[in-house]
Amino acid sequence: MEKLLEVKDLTKQYALGSLIARILITAVDRISFYMDQAEIFTLAGESGCGKTTTAKIVLGFEEATSGTILHSGKPQTRKEKVWITEGVQAIFQDPFSTFNPLRTVDSYFFETVKNYRLAESKTDAIELIDQKLRSVGLTYGEFAGKYPNEFSGGQLQRISIARALMTNPKLIIADEPVSMVDASLRMAIVNLFKKLRDELGVSVLYITHDLATAYYVSDRIAIMFRGNIVEMGTVEQVLMNPRHPYTRLLRESIPQADPRQTWSDTVTLAELEHDEYLREGCKFAGRCPMVMERCRREVPRDLFVGDVLVKCHLYEGSGETSPS
Amino acid sequence: MEIQTETILRTENLKAFYVLDMHGTQKIVKAVNEVDLAIKENEIYGIAGESGCGKTTLLKALFNVIEPPLRLIGGKIYYRVNWEEVEVTSLSPEEKRRLRLEYISYIPQGSMSVLNPVLKIKESYQDFIASHVPEQSRKETMELAQKQIVELGLPKNILNAYPHQLSGGMRQRVTIALSALLSPRIMIGDEPTTALDVVVQRGVIQMLKEIQRKLQNTIILVTHDMGVHANVAHRIGIMYAGKIVEEGTTIQIFDNPLHPYTQFLINSLPKFGDKMMRESVPGSPPSLADLPRGCPFHPRCPYTKDICRESMPGFSYPDEKHRVACWLIGEGEHGKAS
């Protein structure tokens, strides 16, 4: 079956510094992944790992340095923005900066209706908007004519999801959609993603650093570190039995809501992001508790342990190498 | 931790409201409403609650920075300074200033806007030392700062860097180190880890715990992340709509949450290895300017009874150190109607 989204060997480089002392930072380094229909796929990692850059490229906001992106088998190019945005919609991190504080929230919905010619008349448009709002638990009546400051963060985030649903997208790209929302209201948003997947067949590319909600909602997950996907597989396999030392570190660092399970050992933090990006060999070698000599020299290959992709020298020989 | 320790900070029926004058009509935001706290020496006290519940205002009041439009409507705040309890709201501005940083310090949320972007970290330190340390011992304090930075595991050359050269986690750790420099007896942290990645968050919390262990002082930590509380706090107070609705040791709060709101807060957290459907707290927090009658949680509470709509419950004490304000648990020892 054709994949809904296929990303192959995607690379993005940024140049830093002046003309003379220029360094190239590879923000995304030859990553490949795919998404099926009605699937929630998580890209997880810390800030500066390249997850947002990946999202921006898939949305067409940034151009890739190299690599291909296929939407249902069709290649993504600059010219074809319209069909891409109709099928792919985005939700961003901060619901308060998504909406202009001086514009009413409903004007965004009417604008979308106009841009994509979704309705013939105003009554049709209102009916459509109401229908989308109801799927996120709001109604047109309680939202018409209001400004962003009249809603709470959780409500605004649900409104931006409803706005994204206007074009009946097949894929929603959600970049850290819950990190600005209170922990107590987060579940309302992530439950909504589950509902969209199960009832409307919408796929969600869920970008987050919160592994607990990632485990809760997603089907498959990719862990990114400094531009590389270091581990990828089903959430059960990756998060319940992490193989890459970085995934283990992430998994252990999540504060568990259980006062009897507190951290006992100490962590080393990266001193400068730069150094890790420019590191030769495995980028995690500077902080890895299981570092070997070859990690500092050679970039690890993509290895498969069972169905899980792991990019680590520790598994060299124990699994099969990637088919490509 | 269970040894008898002295109360270092105490509030009595504290009320701090924002009084706003809007086109002739007065709007009163009841951000801190009848709060009684007794925080002990050598403990980490966590305050949890949703945004807009008055957590930050409570911290401002505890830090004794009550400036218009925030007004102290009633109640008292006591610090225990040199074995003597001092009522701090009536001190002169100069006395208040002296208490700050030397006795009580504040770790702000956005470390980005704390350090002056055009000054090196060293100069920010010098500024700070110049305003709090007498001239003759300034040089020593600067040496102390250098020593402290190395002890806390920060890179040595950090003092010569500008804030923008540091990552968010590093900046936050510098801010914490700075606020701990003069060994304050109380440190107040307002969501110090909220904007950080999990691994960095763990590093920052590790550092806070380390400082607390060394100085044997009190840390008051506000965050909405119950996971962080479970990891660091000795006792937790749950705040809702300007009031403390439940308080207990961390074990009591997590093992036996009694207030329906606390139960929601804890049960809504996703757990690894358990994909069961989890629900958020229904509805959204009430506006502090227009509080519902009776218990402020009753419109969102699944167990609302008639009395909940009528009056606010007083505290019941189901266990030693555990108190809760909910009609389901009991009438309260001094069931005050409001």
What whole-number distance in Å separates Cα of residue A160 and Cα of residue A151? 12
Per-residue pLDDT, B128: 85
CB contact under 8 A, A273 and B168: no
Q: What DSSP designation does A83 have?
A: H
Question: Closest Cα to residue A106, out of A154, A158, A166, A147?
Answer: A147
Question: A103 near A157, Cβ under 8 Å?
Answer: no
More confident residue, A204 or A79: A204
- My answer on whether A147 and A234 are in the same domain is yes
Per-residue pLDDT, A323: 47
| Residue found under tokens 């100085």 | B215
CB contact under 8 A, A212 and B231: no
Strands (E), A273-324: 303-305, 308-310, 320-321
Question: A10 near A228, Cβ under 8 Å?
Answer: no
- My answer on whether A148 and A27 are in the same domain is yes
Q: Which of A210, A267, A270 sits opposite B206 (nearest CB)?
A: A267
More confident residue, A228 or A319: A228
- B83-115 CB burial, b ≥16 within 10 A, e <16: eeeeebbeeeeeebeebebebbbbbbbebeebb
Boundary of a domain, candidates A207, A241, A275: A241
- My answer on whether A251 and A219 are in the same domain is no
Q: How far is B309 from chain A (nearest CA, A)?
A: 23
Strands A66-71 and A5-16: antiparallel
What whole-number distance in Å separates Cα of residue B269 and Cα of residue B279? 9
Q: What DSSP designation does A196 have?
A: I
- My answer on whether A136 and A257 are in the same domain is no
SS3 content of chain B, % helix, strand, coil (to 5): 35, 25, 40
Partners of A6 in the β-ladder: A34, A70
What tokens does B12 get?
């009595």
Length of chain A: 324
- My answer on whether A191 and A59 are in the same domain is yes
Boundary of a domain, candidates A198, A225, A241: A241
Model confidence over A154-166: pLDDT tens digits? 888 889 999 999 9
- My answer on whether A189 and A320 are in the same domain is no
| Residue found under tokens 């319940």 | A240
Domain CATH for A184: 3.40.50.300
Model confidence at A322: pLDDT above 60: no
- My answer on whether A201 and A116 are in the same domain is yes
Which stretch of DSSP H or E encloses residue A97? helix A95-98
Range of the domain at A152: 5-241
Q: Which of A187, A193, A219, A238 to mutate: most B Cβ within 10 Å?
A: A187
- My answer on whether A172 and A311 are in the same domain is no
A86 phi, psi to nearest 5 deg: -70, -35
- Quick one: closest CA in A to B167, which residue? A272
Residue A252 to residues A265, B140, B325, Cα–Cα distance (Å): 10, 40, 35
Per-residue pLDDT, B14: 93
Across the A/B interface, how many CB contacts are shorter than 8 Å? 127
Question: Closest Cα to residue B159, out of B178, B176, B146?
Answer: B146
Tens-of-pLDDT digits for all 338 residues of chain B? 445 578 999 999 999 999 888 777 888 889 999 999 999 999 999 999 888 888 889 998 998 888 888 889 989 999 988 888 888 888 888 888 888 878 899 887 766 677 888 999 889 888 888 888 888 888 888 888 888 888 888 888 888 888 888 877 788 888 888 888 888 999 999 888 877 788 888 888 888 998 999 999 999 999 888 888 998 999 999 999 999 999 999 999 999 999 999 998 888 888 887 888 887 777 778 888 888 889 999 998 999 999 999 999 999 998 888 999 999 887 655 444 33
CA dihedral A254, A257, A263, A269 (to 10 degrees): 30
What whole-number distance in Å separates Cα of residue B97 and Cα of residue B91? 10
| Cβ contacts of A260 on chain B, cutoff 8 Å | 251
Boundary of a domain, candidates A182, A206, A241: A241
- My answer on whether A196 and A299 are in the same domain is no
Q: How far is A40 from chain B (nearest CA, A)?
A: 14
Query: B297 at the A interface (CB within 8 A)?
Result: no
CB contact under 8 A, B201 and A255: yes
Q: What DSSP designation does A199 have?
A: I
List alpha helices for A178-264, DSSP H. Answer: 183-195, 211-217, 235-240, 245-253
Model confidence at A96: pLDDT above 60: yes
Query: A266 at the B interface (CB within 8 A)?
Result: yes
Question: Cis omega (within 30 of 0) on the bond before B69?
Answer: yes
What whole-number distance in Å separates Cα of residue A147 and Cα of residue A150? 6
In whole angstroms, what separates CA A173 from the centre of its chain?
A: 7
More confident residue, B259 or A115: B259
List alpha helices for chain B, DSSP H. Answer: 55-62, 93-99, 121-132, 138-151, 168-179, 198-215, 226-232, 250-255, 260-267, 306-310
Confidence of residue A318 (pLDDT cuts 50, 70, 90): low
| Cβ contacts of B170 on chain A, cutoff 8 Å | 269, 271
Give contacts of B 245-284 with A, CB under 8 A.
250-251, 254, 264-266, 268-273, 275, 277-281, 284
Predicted interface score ipTM higher than 0.95: no
- My answer on whether A213 and A265 are in the same domain is no
Question: B75 near B90, Cβ under 8 Å?
Answer: no
| Cβ contacts of B211 on chain A, cutoff 8 Å | none
For A64, other C-beta atoms within 10 Å of its C-beta total: 20
Strands B44-48 and B235-240: parallel
Model confidence at A136: pLDDT above 70: yes
What whole-number distance in Å separates Cα of residue B193 and Cα of residue B39? 22
- My answer on whether A113 and A41 are in the same domain is yes
Per-residue pLDDT, B10: 92
| Cβ contacts of A94 on chain B, cutoff 8 Å | none
- My answer on whether A313 and A296 are in the same domain is yes
Statement: the pTM of the whole predicted model exceeds 0.90: no
Question: B248 near B236, Cβ under 8 Å?
Answer: yes
What whole-number distance in Å separates Cα of residue B252 and Cα of residue A305? 43
Q: How far is B269 from chain A (nearest CA, A)?
A: 7
More confident residue, A204 or B142: A204
What whole-number distance in Å separates Cα of residue A67 and Cα of residue B271? 37
CB contact under 8 A, B227 and A256: yes
CB contact under 8 A, A152 and B284: yes
Give contacts of B 102-141 with A, CB under 8 A.
none
What whole-number distance in Å separates Cα of residue B220 and Cα of residue B201? 17
CB contact under 8 A, B272 and A240: yes
Q: Under 8 Å CB-to-CB from B100, ≥6 apart: which residues?
A: B63, B64, B106
Q: How far is B170 from chain A (nearest CA, A)?
A: 8
Per-residue pLDDT, B281: 79
Provide the number of structural domains found in chain A.
Answer: 2
Per-residue pLDDT, B335: 44
User: Packing angle between helix A105-115 and helix A153-165, nearest 10 degrees?
Assistant: 10
What whole-number distance in Å separates Cα of residue B115 and Cα of residue B105? 15
High-pLDDT (> 70) share of chain A, %: 91
- The SS3 call for residue B272 is coil
Per-residue pLDDT, B26: 84
- Quick one: closest CA in B to A261, which residue? B231
Question: Closest Cα to residue B295, out of B317, B310, B315?
Answer: B310
Q: Which of B197, B254, B281 sits opposite A259 (nearest CB)?
A: B254
DSSP B4-50: ---EEEEEEEEEEEEEEEETTEEEEEEEEEEEEEEEETT-EEEEE--
Per-residue pLDDT, B81: 86
Model confidence over A246-282: pLDDT tens digits? 999 888 888 887 877 777 767 776 656 666 777 788 8
The CB-side HSE value for A230 (13 A sphere, CA atoms) comes to 30
